[in-house]
Amino acid sequence: MAERSLRRIGVLTGGGDAPGLNAALRAVVKTAILRYGWTVIGFEDGYEGAILGRARQLGLDDVRGLLVRGGTILGASNRANPFFFAHPEQGDTEPRDHSRTLLATLERIGIDALIVIGGEGSLSIAHRLNEMGLRVIGIPKTIDNDVRGTLQTIGFDTAVTTATEAIDRLHTTAESHHRVMLVELMGRDAGWIALSAGVAGGADVILIPEIPFVLDRVVEVIRGRRQRRRSFTIVAVAEGARPLDGEAVFERTGPLPYQRKYGGISLVLQKQLSRILPTEVRAVVLGHLQRGGTPTPTDRALATALGSAAVDALADDDDGVMVAIRAHPAGQATWGIVRVPLAEVARGPRLVPLDHPLVRAARGIGISFAQQDEE
Tens digit of pLDDT for each residue in 122-142?
A: 999 999 999 999 999 999 999
Q: Residue 117: enclosing H or E segment and its boundaries?
A: strand 113-118
User: CA 309, CA 306: separation in Å to the nearest integer?
Assistant: 5
Check the annotation: does 144 bind a ligand.
yes
pLDDT band at 40 (very low <50, low <70, confident <90, very high): very high
Cβ atoms 113, 135 nearer than 8 A: yes
The pLDDT score that the predictor gives to residue 296 is 95
Render pLDDT for 164-192 as a digit per residue (tens, 0 to 9): 999 999 888 877 777 899 999 998 999 99
The whole-number average pLDDT for the span 13-24 is: 92
Taking all residues of the chain, what is their mean pLDDT, rounded to a whole number?
90
The pLDDT score that the predictor gives to residue 3 is 41
- Higher-pLDDT residue of 312 and 16 is 312
Q: Which of 17, 45, 144, 189 is catalytic?
A: 144
Q: How far apart are the first and last CA of the chain?
A: 59
Q: How many CA atoms lie within 13 A of 88 on its CB side?
A: 5
* 375 pLDDT more than 70: no
Check the annotation: does 265 bind a ligand.
no
Instruction: State yes or no: is 144 an active-site residue.
Output: yes
Task: Give just the sign of the alpha carbon dihedral 145, 150, 155, 157.
Answer: positive
Check the annotation: does 254 bind a ligand.
no
- Higher-pLDDT residue of 315 and 329 is 315
If phi over 0 gives left and psi between -120 and 50 gives alpha, with beta otherwise, what is residue 69?
beta
The whole-number average pLDDT for the span 244-253 is: 81
The pLDDT score that the predictor gives to residue 260 is 78
Render pLDDT for 71-114 as a digit per residue (tens, 0 to 9): 899 998 877 899 998 888 888 888 899 999 999 999 999 999 99
The pLDDT score that the predictor gives to residue 250 is 77
Check the annotation: does 274 bind a ligand.
no
- Which pTM was predicted? 0.92
Check the annotation: does 79 bind a ligand.
yes
pLDDT band at 256 (very low <50, low <70, confident <90, very high): low
The pLDDT score that the predictor gives to residue 373 is 80
The whole-number average pLDDT for the span 252-265 is: 74
pLDDT > 90: percent of the chain? 72
Check the annotation: does 239 bind a ligand.
yes
The pLDDT score that the predictor gives to residue 1 is 40
pLDDT band at 331 (very low <50, low <70, confident <90, very high): low
The pLDDT score that the predictor gives to residue 337 is 92
The pLDDT score that the predictor gives to residue 194 is 96
The pLDDT score that the predictor gives to residue 257 is 62
The pLDDT score that the predictor gives to residue 80 is 87
Render pLDDT for 230-243 as a digit per residue (tens, 0 to 9): 788 999 999 999 99
* 197 pLDDT more than 70: yes
Looking at the chain, how many residues does it have? 375
pLDDT band at 156 (very low <50, low <70, confident <90, very high): very high
Cβ atoms 362, 206 nearer than 8 A: yes
- Higher-pLDDT residue of 89 and 253 is 89
Which value, in Å, is the radius of gyration of the alpha carbons in the chain? 22
The pLDDT score that the predictor gives to residue 332 is 61
List domains and CATH numbers for the chain.
8-154+295-345 (3.40.50.450), 157-292 (3.40.50.460)
